[in-house]
Chain A
Amino acid sequence: MVTYKLPHKEFNEALKSGKLMGFKCNSCGAYTCPPKINCNECASMDMEVVEFKGRAEIKSYTIIRVSPEGFESEVPYIVALAQLEEGPNLVGNLVGVDPDKVTDEIIGIKVKIGWKPAPPEVKYCGPIGKDGKIKPEMVAITFSLM
């Protein structure tokens, strides 16, 4: 029997308590985050759950001005791709920065990882509860300036 060591629910609950969790591979030394059943680099299952430093660097970004259904109240908002100090990339919202003033100079900026709840109007996203609503543990990853 194979047991998922860090299912998304536990990952997100840890994130909400201020901890970014993931794996360190005992075979190749690489880090995997968000979690997977095996190492993102070498597919080994010999990994241990570790807490990440929660710091990253912005690699790319965009300012969303035409949103999906459910995100209308958030527009404009910034989605960014950031690389964690341990190596893996994350996709999340860059917060605390005015979307109308952000420029390419944001690329390379150091950020810390956090979270924000999904907008209440969002539907058909992630695992859905019996009440038809998004489960409370489902959140967006955020990046904020250090």
Chain B
Amino acid sequence: MRKVAIMGVGMTKFGPTEKSQVELFAEAAMEAINASNIKTKDVQALFLGNGLGDFEEGQLNLAGFCANELGLPPETTAMRFEGACASASVAIRNAFLLVASGAYDIVVAGGTERAFSMGTSLATRTFAMGTDSKYEEFSGLTFPGVFAMLAHLYANKYNIPLPKLKERMAMVAVKNHKNGAKNPLAQFQKEITVETVLKGFVVADPLQLFDCCPFSDGGAAVVITTDEIAKKHVEKPVYILGAGQGSAGSLCRQKDYTIMPSRIASAKQAYKMAGVGPKDINMAEVHDCFTIAEIVLLENLGFYDFGTASEAVEKGETEIGGKIAINPSGGLKAKGHPVGATGAAQVYEIVKQLRGECGARQVENAKIGMTDTLGGDAGTIVNLILGIQK
């Protein structure tokens, strides 16, 4: 396997837009290509994460349109990757594996999405397509509903009174909004308080509005290449040290999903490949689609023992400057969650952080960062570990 590095990265501002998915991806990808000091003709493959482009714009086969938009040569391999909310991370992991194996030297990977534009009702409906459409969707289960049930499971399992857990969940939202307020590309650049969260309307009991990430539009992309090529083009290549991916079935098959075997397996693969453990990670961009999701994943990734992460949040250990900075970008909660682009935006943030380019939200002395992206109800999980040293 060859050493693999990221050169340039790019992303659009997240939030409502009138731009199309191709236009959003083109902006992000051209920024990444320009920052890599390469020409579009140098790109051999384009791996595009996209969740619901068909429903958002009546558009299939987006990857080819994106390749042509960027002026990539006709011999370019262009493919869409769909793993629900983890789509871009699946695309990036595959780009990493195929560059490592020698199949390609330079790949643009990322994603695009226009979920905000669908409106809440259709977006809620289409997002719910990530649950089992034979045996679960007819109950009217929504994604807030999946994580609302997780919150009740978690509170009961660890004997944390629900009001206490909800207060700690609110602190996750407060932290991520605090970070997002310092991110000029975030959908919400506004700080909130615990009271803001606890006063919001109920979406799916016990989750209230500010426990939930927004529907978003946006694009993000990264250029993935070999160590040798990266060193010739950019000053600070960021290395992909490890990558993992796991899978799972319907919610009903997963039993107690406070412990997600697909996530644990994915993280284990990534740690093993990188030769590091949870204690070596300085910061992580993680899938906080709902506040309870961030608490549970901190345990599944091995950062905290099972049942203890909500207390760590309360103590401020996951803030920038804390024990481990979680979602310095503002996370899905404040930065926004354009499904197909999310994983690439997570990588964008870690790369910028490792290069020391994050200004007011900079995590000091960060050497190793991790991403965690969840698709569906844990049906697809991807973890990437990035570092500035090989």
Contact = CB atoms under 8 A, between A and B. Distances in A.
Nearest to B155: A104
B252 A89 contact: yes
A64 B204 contact: yes
A126 to B, nearest CB: 5
Interface string B98-123: 00000000000000000000001110
A8 B135 contact: yes
B232 interface: no
A141 B135 contact: yes
Main secondary structure of the interface of B (DSSP, over half): helix
A79 B125 contact: no
Contacts of A138: 134, 138
B203 A79 contact: no
Contacts of B205: 62-63, 65
Interface residues of B, number: 43
A33 to B, nearest CB: 8
A118 B140 CA distance: 9
B368 to A, nearest CB: 35
Contacts of A67: 121, 124, 140, 142
B145 A79 contact: yes
Contacts, number: 124
A62 B162 CA distance: 13
A122 interface: yes
B141 A79 contact: yes
Interface residues of A, number: 42
A68 B143 CA distance: 10
B140 A71 contact: yes
A105 to B, nearest CB: 11
Interface stretch (B35-43, B146-154, B260-268): B146-154
A20 to B, nearest CB: 12
A49 interface: no
Nearest to B202: A65
Contacts of A125: 133, 137-138
A59 B153 contact: yes
A144 interface: no
B125 A124 contact: yes
Contact of A81 (B133, B142, B149, B207): B149
A126 B126 CA distance: 12
Given A34-B250, A63-B204, A67-B140, 6 more contacts: A67-B121, A79-B139, A79-B141, A104-B156, A118-B138, A119-B140
Interface of B: 55, 120-122, 124-126, 128-129, 132-142, 144-145, 148-150, 152-153, 155-156, 162, 201-207, 250-255
13 contacts: A8-B134, A62-B148, A63-B202, A65-B204, A67-B142, A70-B125, A79-B139, A79-B145, A89-B252, A91-B251, A107-B156, A124-B129, A141-B139
Interface of A: 8, 34, 40, 59-72, 74, 77, 79-81, 88-93, 104, 107, 118-119, 122-127, 138-141
